[in-house]
Amino acid sequence: MRKIFISYRRDDADEAAGRLSDHLVNQFGQDSVFMDVDGIAPGRDFRKVIEETLTQCDVLLGVMGRNWLDIKDEGGKRRLDNESDFVRLEIASALRRDIPVIPVRVQGATVPKPDSLPADLKDFSYRNAVELTHERWNSDVQLLVDKMRRLFNEPCPPVNQHLATPPPPPPVIHQQPVAPPPQTFTPTAPAPPVSAELASRQRTRKIIKWSLVTIFTLSTFSLMAQGDANGTLGGFIIVPFLIWDPFKWFVVKS
């Protein structure tokens, strides 16, 4: 089982370290994360307890807030300059064991320069750091988790296992062929009936027409029967006149 040691100062990044611990417990389990050494039994040398604890750990996360470097004790002395400071002992012990030591920057903190650190912590400045931001906390922590899994040679499980499986294809719907709409026959509208007045006018014109035809025909035979010049001339005048058909003026036009 992999062990993760979280080093932090309560006066500097207590909340961030707690959130990080909860996330790591969720990922690796409660027994894989070690955070506090305050439960040291009375009479025991805390230096040895820290050393023994770190011998069981595979990685140390040094959580640094903006005040991590310069926090002072009650006497006004910088805590990192105290050889008995817990944070200094934790990081120095991990560096001596040469296990992965990851500076974890929070609150916009930066990794301190080597010349600002005690001699046994100078190598801490050369360790590759990660940053956890408030705005992208979950994604930043997940990147840190993935890096630690690679350190442990553990596979990174997919974030959403169900999304890796492609969705099933949509069902095929067999549609019945649509029959063409039946052709409708529109009957031709019948011709409008002829009014009684129009029918009477047509009969009158027919009577006049055939009366004229009869008169012209009789006149023509009478003139031609006389055999004189007038009769012959009359016949030549009347026959073309009939051929020209003046009676077409009597045709009823709709």
Range in 6-20, 111-125, 176-190 the model is least confident about? 176-190
Angle at 76 (CA atoms; ends 70, 79), nearest 5 degrees = 45
The residue that leads in pLDDT, 216 or 152, is 152
Give me the mean pLDDT over the 54-80 stretch: 92
The per-residue pLDDT for 156 is: 65
The per-residue pLDDT for 65 is: 94
In this predicted structure, the answer to whether residue 231 has a pLDDT above a threshold of 70 is: no
The per-residue pLDDT for 2 is: 82
Mean pLDDT of the chain: 79
The per-residue pLDDT for 42 is: 79
The per-residue pLDDT for 184 is: 62
In this predicted structure, the answer to whether residue 111 has a pLDDT above a threshold of 50 is: yes
Per-residue pLDDT tens digits for 140-186: 999 999 999 998 887 766 655 444 445 556 666 656 666 666 666 56
The residue that leads in pLDDT, 50 or 247, is 50
The per-residue pLDDT for 161 is: 45
Q: How far apart are CA 93 and CA 120, in angstroms?
A: 9
Confidence of residue 244 (pLDDT cuts 50, 70, 90): low
In this predicted structure, the answer to whether residue 119 has a pLDDT above a threshold of 90 is: yes
Is the domain 4-157 a CATH 3.40.50.10140 member?
A: yes
